[in-house]
Structure 1
Amino acid sequence: MSKYAVVVTILCALTLSGCVSNLSGTTYSRSEARQVQQVQYGVVQSAIPVVIEGTGGVVGGATGAVVGGIAASNVGGGRGKDIATVLGAVAGGVAGKKAEEMLTRAQGQEITVRLDNGNMVSIVQEMDGGPAFAAGDRVRVLTRAGTARVTY
């Protein structure tokens, strides 16, 4: 692989890692800061481990296509080189999309809470390295514009 291909691969990997978002209960986007949230209290009834699937956006596929095309362009000559470049780009695009999905996949919990008003809600959120929720935990459920999170 040429030096150029190595540099492109590294830059693409760094770009892809920048696409990873956090869906935990303790991470807020800039637009969520300083916004009013409704607060309800309750008790966790169950907390089940889940996997939150990763994103399958354009970045991984495009990155893979570029890297695959560059790598395959060094194969053969003439018309065969052109065909290898196209096939390398297609294969790289498929592999890059799968890599993005795997890199952005996260461990989460499906947390079912019985609110103090008697209603039951279930919220899936990413685990952020802190303690996992467990049945019997007293928690807050914060909601705003269709988004909810569970916190202590």
Structure 2
Amino acid sequence: MHTLIRTSALALAAAATLVAGCAAQSNSASIYTPGQAQREQTLRFGVVETVREVLIQGEQTGAGTIAGGAIGGIAAGSTIGNGGGSVAAGVLGAVLGGIAGSMAENKISQRRGLEITVRLDNGDMRAIVQDADEAFRPGERVRLLSSGGTTRVTH
């Protein structure tokens, strides 16, 4: 009974670590960090040439690998075999759980984005990738806001 409670508590802690580690920084044109607020931005105007859907990959924190490894190791080690067999099962469970956890973190942290190609009024072309939280269509007039290496496309 104590093993089941301990296993459940460790699995819950590992899952909480995974969820906390998946918080991703936004690439939305509508969200600013406190450090970006009240900063002057360069403003340019142009017309949308093309819009392409992309996936934005979040940062890999390692939380998925750690959580999956802990859950897999505990689950396999506490339920399979005795003695050396239990240790071997725990190691294999940890490896497989770590791989599965890493894959889960990778999938959870992905989000939809847009690659927006804009022809500026001076004829230059720019392509910006940002979160797909605003719709853009070819031919639309847009603004490009740039500051500190970050450019946003807005209406």
TM-score range, shorter chain: 0.7 to 0.9
- SS at structure 2 position matched to 1:46: strand
Contact 2:64–2:98 under 8 Å retained in 1: yes
- From 62, 68, 72, the counterpart of 1:68: 72
Alignment match, 2:142: 139
1:127, 1:14 → 2: CA distance?
Answer: 27
Contact 1:55–1:105 under 8 Å retained in 2: no
State, as a whole percentage, how many aligned pairs show the same letter: 42
- SS at structure 2 position matched to 1:60: helix
2:100, 2:81 → 1: CA distance?
Answer: 22
TM-score, normalised via structure 1 length:
0.87
Contact 2:67–2:98 under 8 Å retained in 1: yes
Would you say 1:124 and 2:126 are equivalent positions? no
Q: Is the radius of gyration larger for structure 1 or structure 2?
A: 2
Q: What are the ranges of 5 or more consecutive residues in structure 1 without an aligned counterpart? A: none
Q: What are the ranges of 5 or more consecutive residues in structure 2 without an aligned counterpart? A: none
Contact 1:111–1:123 under 8 Å retained in 2: yes
Instruction: Answer with 49-58 or 76-85: which moved more.
Output: 49-58
Alignment match, 1:110: 115
- SS at structure 1 position matched to 2:35: helix
Evaluate the alpha carbon distance shift between residue 132 and residue 89 of structure 1 in structure 2; reply closer, same or farther with a 3 A threshold: same
Would you say 1:33 and 2:37 are equivalent positions? yes
1:31, 1:65 → 2: CA distance?
Answer: 36
Instruction: Answer with 3-12 or 41-50: which moved more.
Output: 3-12
- From 34, 48, 56, the counterpart of 1:44: 48
Alignment match, 1:53: 57
Evaluate the alpha carbon distance shift between residue 55 and residue 71 of structure 1 in structure 2; reply closer, same or farther with a 3 A threshold: same
The offset of 1:116, in angstroms, is 1.6
Contact 2:68–2:102 under 8 Å retained in 1: yes
Evaluate the alpha carbon distance shift between residue 23 and residue 85 of structure 1 in structure 2; reply closer, same or farther with a 3 A threshold: same
1:78, 1:14 → 2: CA distance?
Answer: 30
The offset of 1:140, in angstroms, is 1.2
Task: Kindly tell me the number of residue pairs found equivalent between the two proteins.
Answer: 150
What amino acid does structure 2 have at the position aligned with 1:150?
Answer: V
